[in-house]
Structure formats: structure tokens, C-alpha cells
Amino acid sequence: MVDMEFTAWFGKIKLDSEGKIEDCDFFDKDPEKLAKLVVELEDDVQAVPLKRADLRDAALECGFVELDEEYDILLRDVCIRAAKSQISQTDTDDSRIIQAVQALDDIDKNVNELSERLFEWYGRYFPELDMTGEELARFVSAYGSRANVPEEHRLSEKASQSMGAELSFADEELLRAFANNICSLYDTRRYIENYINTSMGSVAPNLCNVTGASIGARLMSMAGSLQKLAAFPSSTVQVIGASRALFKHLRSKAPSPKHGIIFNNPVIKNAPWWQRGKLARALASKISLAARTDFYSGELSPSIKEALDRKLESIRRANPNPPKRELQTKPQGKGGKKTHRGKRKGGKR
Amino acid sequence: MSVKELHRGIYELDINDRKVLATKNIMPGLSVYGERLIKDDGIEYRQWDPSRSKLGAMVLKNFENPIEPDSTVLYLGAASGTTVSHVSDILTDGLVYAVEFSPRTMRDLIQLCDQRPNIIPILADANKPQSYAHIVEKADVIFQDVAQPNQSEIAAINSKYFLEEHGHLMLSIKSRSIDTVASPKKVFKEEVRKLESDFDIEFEVLQRKELDPFHEDHLGLVARMFVDDEE
């Protein structure tokens, strides 16, 4: 009868064609070693015979373990070790960048909120101050009360004649501390941005080259990893970040989105509206190419960017003027529209 | 407080006329995901929130639960282990193999496995049963909650490799992850048809019911693998 071999977590099993055990070759009962083997077998998938003896039966029959409980305890130990080692290997370069991108978004959200609060709060004491955001935070942290604004400062006159209330010492300290925190958030933000720029250069040089570090990192973050981004078709890359518009398009008759977050690339942002869709399509296709090159080779290949620039130029040249909008052939223009809307309201959406 | 056993290992507690689903805590004193611990007569129960667990919802929807205290369960899509912890409570004399694909959620699941003696964690893709066939033994019950577009294929292929003859398959089908646009009813019908006739193993669907109001657009399903051995 034809023999089949199959590696289980505790050893190699030889089966006959009926799936019955002919022979069994154990591994050492060392949990650490067994765990390593379990991980290897998961990555390097073996052919598994459908007709095969049950693993537990095999282990008991061949005497690898004597009791059910022993099987359970050892298997559990091995699998927990295996899973832990697999988890610790998941901290990859792109996962670090993705965390950084998300931290950046969190900081942006929070710093805006805090800055607005500082604007409202400090405005009670110096309403003439024409600053917001980081500038305001730096000002408050430097001077505190408007009485401390030095004479040579451009705002010293406004400060001395302000209609704002007097700021008590305790409140001044509090506001300064608050402003200090906001300043340090802005510092951290810059720090993270630098980190993303430098690590994107080494993790995804082509992506950086084609669309810039920050959009590249953002695309990676939304895709989930560089690998996933590389696996996406470029039509998906084109609309990453426009999921609401995309699903609206799929569900109803809404027009399809032309661009997702790649819109933030100046190529598209600064283009006239009639070129945007075409440019976005070209850009997305090169982004896909860049992501794939980054994931599979990691080498910078300048030809991608060059080809993109040529393509963009030819699109611009081919479409210099806005297309004429076709007149809608609706009877009686406005009136028709109105009844249409009225109809929609009650019906299914 | 009164305690009623709905099924082996699954209880309905009546606390001041409020009915609460619960399992007996096999690790007394430890709450897994912030659920309430309820003591009665020296026995500690863990409250089981059906809106956070497909299996919990299935129990309340009067599904015939094939999981017995001595079963071996293959749980596909274990996530952070909310439901797995209750399965582990039920399996006082059994074992659950918990397969999860995402390393992030596996991080939480591992903490649970460290606490409990009857959960075997497996970080693998349920699409590729060959990649964990060296670990998993034959199972009495396969429970699957994977939210993947090819859920029924996953169920079929795993049953083929791991389900005991006449073993049970419990499925939670999320229509939104198969087709975001189509109507759930249509999707469910198609999935059941696939399960009954598309694969080289046959299933006999014993029960199917939607899991609302606990989970929207989800179908619960219990099937038995059909084996014709005498050929």
C-alpha cells in the first residue's frame, strides 16, 4: 500500500492509504523547540492527506504521551509559545510608520481642539490679539499676561490699551502651563513628521519619490500595510480614502469618486477640474507600481517617476481646455427638477 | 435569584425579574472583558452579552446548541476571545482550538489563553486549513464567525479537514461582508444553497435564523455534516 507522510506538531506520522498509522517518529518533548516547528509548519504549508488518523489518537497510540491531559497541557504550552513568537515578529518597518501616521492624526485632532480652547480662554484677557494655533500658544507660553509684552513687540500698543480683563497670577500660571502643553504637542508633531519622512525614504523609496512621504505613508496606513497596498489594483489606490463616496456610488446613482487621499498630491490638487480624473488615474497606476517595487525589491527605480511625469504632461497637453458641458435636455428646467425632488422625498433611497 | 440551565453549561439567571444569560466561571474571580460576575450559592457566573457574541445570540434564539462540556471545538474567527471565553466556560472537560488571523487581536486572545487551560491559540488564516492541520485534532463542533466574503467555502474546507463524522457546524453569516449592496435575505439564501450543494461534502442544515435584534444582518445556522460512508 502507498505510504503517506505527514508532520504533526509532535512528530512525523507515516500513514497507509487508509489513513491508519504505520509508523511514528517523535520529536523531542521540548516545548520551545516544538513551538519553533509549529511556526515553521504554518508558514511552509504541507500537503495534508484528508484521510488521516486523528492527531490525538496517534500521539496516544504511539506513546508520545500517555494521558489525554498530558497531550492538552503540552499542546497548549507549545501553541501559546508559537503564537507569542509570531506576534513579536509582526513589528515591521511599515507597521511602525502606520502607527506614526495615526499618532499624527490623533495629535492634529487634539491640538486643534486645545488651540481653540486656548483662543477662547485667553481671548477674555487679550481679545485684540490676532493669533491662532501654534503662534498663539507660543505667545501665551512666552509672555503670559499682556502686561508682560515688551515695548518693542509689535503688539505692545494693543496690549497696553486692550479692553481685556485683568489676568490674575494664578490664572496666568494656569494658562501658561496649558499653552506650554500645546507647544510641546506641536513639537512632537514635527518630530513625528520627520520620523515618517526619514523612514519612508528607506522603507518605501519609490512611493516617496512618486507621491511624497506623507501621502505614501497615509496610503499605507489606510491599506493596512505596504504589502496590502502593493496588492491593491490601482483603481482601488485611486479611491482609497473616498470610501463614503465610493459606497454611495455603488449603492445609488451617485457619480464615482475620482480620487481619494491622492487628491492631496499637488499634481491633482492644483490641476483644473477637467484634468483631475485623468491625472488621478495616471498617478494611482504609478503609485501601485511604486508600492509593488518597494515591497518586492526595495530598490529605488527613478524610471517610475519619469514615466509618470511624461504621462501627466501628455494628459495636460491633450486636455488644455474645459470640455463644454452638455446641456441637460430636461423639459422646463427648474419646474421639472422640483417635481422630481418632490417625488424622491417620499420614496426609497 | 433563580438559576435555570438552558443548555449544558449555559444558564439563565433571573435577577430581580431581569433575565441574564451567563456561564459558570471556570476561573472564579476573573472577569475577561469587563463583564459582570454574579455569585449565587457559592457559584460564580459570568454574564454573557448576546449583542457582543453571535453564539450568545444563537442560544437566546433557541438554537439547538451542539457544544457539550466534553466537546472538542474548532473556533474560527476567535477575535479577542469574548465568545471563546464563554465556550471555554462550557467546556469543563473539553478543548477549544481558537483560530485568529489578525496578530493585533491575537495579542488579546493570548492573554486569555494564559489564564485558561482549555484554549489552544492558533495564529493562522482560516482559508488555509493545511497550515494548522499539524495542530488541530478532529472536532465535534466547528464554530465559525469570520466575516469574510467566502465564508461558506471556509466552513466547507475546514469541515472537510477537521469535522468528525456527523459533527456539527455552527455558522454566523454576515451578509454585509459578502455583498454590501444586496439584500441580506438574498445573500443568506445563496449562502445556504452553496452550503447544501456546492461542495464535495454535504451538509444538512438543521436550523437557520436571523440574529436580530442582537446582530443586524446576520444569519445564524447550525448544520450537520452528512457522510455517506457505505460506498
Task: For residue A80, give the nearest of B110, B128, B134 by CB distance.
Answer: B110
Residue B198: the pLDDT is 86
In total, the C-beta contacts within 8 angstroms joining chain A to chain B are: 81
Cβ atoms of A349 and A252 within 8 Å: the answer is: yes
Are residues A192 and A128 located together in one domain of the fold? yes
pTM for this model (two decimals): 0.78
Q: Kindly identify which residue of chain A lies nearest to residue B138, measuring between CA atoms.
A: A54
DSSP state of A148: G
Percentage of chain A surpassing pLDDT 70?
93
Q: Which of A267-271, B122-126, B226-230 has the lowest mean pLDDT?
A: B226-230
Question: Which chain B residues touch A7 with a CB distance below 8 Å?
Answer: 134
Instruction: Check which CATH number belongs to the domain holding A148 and give it.
Output: 1.10.287.4070
A38·B134 Cβ contact <8 A:
yes
Q: Which single residue is written with the C-alpha cell 495542530?
A: B135
Q: Which of B135, B177, B199, B227 to mutate to test the interface with A (most CBs of A within 10 A)?
A: B135
Question: Which chain B residues touch A11 with a CB distance below 8 Å?
Answer: none
The reply to whether A237 falls in a domain is yes
Are residues A188 and A253 located together in one domain of the fold? no
B120·A75 Cβ contact <8 A:
yes
Question: Which chain B residues touch A9 with a CB distance below 8 Å?
Answer: 134-135
Q: What is the pLDDT of residues B60-76, one digit of tens each?
A: 999 999 999 999 999 99
The reply to whether A323 falls in a domain is no
DSSP state of A260: S
Over residues A143-163, mean pLDDT:
90
Residue A335: the pLDDT is 43
Q: Distance (Å) from the C-alpha of residue B132 to the closest C-alpha of chain A?
A: 6
Q: Which of A79, A80, A89, A247 to mutate to test the interface with B (most CBs of B within 10 A)?
A: A79
Residue A229: the pLDDT is 95
Are residues A77 and A146 located together in one domain of the fold? no
Q: Does the pLDDT of residue A338 top 50, yes or no?
A: no
Over residues A147-160, mean pLDDT:
90
Q: Distance (Å) from the C-alpha of residue B225 to the closest C-alpha of chain A?
A: 15
Are residues A211 and A290 located together in one domain of the fold? yes
Q: Which single residue is written with the C-alpha cell 472583558?
A: B33
A48·B129 Cβ contact <8 A:
yes
Q: What is the pLDDT of residues A4-32, one digit of tens each?
A: 888 999 999 888 877 788 888 889 999 99
Task: For residue B135, give the nearest of A9, A47, A87 by CB distance.
Answer: A9
CA distances from A12 to A6, A19, B132, B160 (A): 6, 14, 15, 22
The reply to whether A343 falls in a domain is no
Question: Which chain B residues touch A247 with a CB distance below 8 Å?
Answer: 180
Residue A329: the pLDDT is 57
Q: What is the pLDDT of residues B204-215, one digit of tens each?
A: 999 999 998 999
Q: If you compute the radius of gyration of chain A from its CA atoms, what whole number of angstroms results?
A: 32
Residue A334: the pLDDT is 45
Q: Distance (Å) from the C-alpha of residue A47 to the closest C-alpha of chain B?
A: 7
Q: Where does a domain end: A69, A89, A109?
A: A89
Quote the CA–CA distance of B220 and B189 in Å, as a whole number: 12
Quote the CA–CA distance of A283 and A45 in Å, as a whole number: 38
Are residues A185 and A137 located together in one domain of the fold? yes
Q: Does the pLDDT of residue A49 top 90, yes or no?
A: no
Are residues A127 and A70 located together in one domain of the fold? no
Are residues A306 and A215 located together in one domain of the fold? yes
Q: Which of A76-90, A166-180, A333-347 has the lowest mean pLDDT?
A: A333-347
Phi and psi at B212, nearest 5°, equal -70, 155
Task: For residue A79, give the nearest of B107, B133, B135 by CB distance.
Answer: B135
B103·A250 Cβ contact <8 A:
no
Torsion of CA B71, B73, B79, B84, to 10 degrees: 0
Percent helix, strand and coil across chain A, each to the nearest 5: 65, 5, 30
Q: Distance (Å) from the C-alpha of residue B138 to the closest C-alpha of chain A?
A: 6
C-alpha B64 chain-centroid distance: 13
Are residues A84 and A100 located together in one domain of the fold? no
Quick check: A75 contacting B, CB < 8 Å? yes
The reply to whether A340 falls in a domain is no
Question: Which chain A residues touch B128 with a CB distance below 8 Å?
Answer: 45
Q: Where does a domain end: A197, A222, A256?
A: A197
The residue segments making up the domain with residue A80 are: 4-89
Question: Which chain B residues touch A348 with a CB distance below 8 Å?
Answer: none
The reply to whether A336 falls in a domain is no
The reply to whether A115 falls in a domain is yes
The reply to whether A275 falls in a domain is yes
Question: Which chain A residues touch B110 with a CB distance below 8 Å?
Answer: 80, 83-84, 87
Burial class, A60, CB count within 10 angstroms (exposed 0-12 / middle 13-18 / buried 19+): middle
Are residues A185 and A209 located together in one domain of the fold? no
Q: What is the pLDDT of residues B136-151, one digit of tens each?
A: 999 999 999 998 999 9
The reply to whether A333 falls in a domain is no
Which ipTM score applies to this complex? 0.93
Question: Which chain A residues touch B135 with a CB distance below 8 Å?
Answer: 8-9, 38, 55, 75, 79
Cβ atoms of B184 and B201 within 8 Å: the answer is: no
Are residues A177 and A271 located together in one domain of the fold? no
Over residues A320-342, mean pLDDT:
58
Are residues A64 and A169 located together in one domain of the fold? no
Quote the CA–CA distance of A330 and A339 in Å, as a whole number: 12
Quick check: A163 contacting B, CB < 8 Å? no
Instruction: Check which CATH number belongs to the domain holding A264 and give it.
Output: 1.10.246.90
- Give the number of domains in chain A: 3
Q: Where does a domain end: A153, A169, A197?
A: A197
Are residues A85 and A97 located together in one domain of the fold? no
Residue B228: the pLDDT is 60
Quick check: A87 contacting B, CB < 8 Å? yes
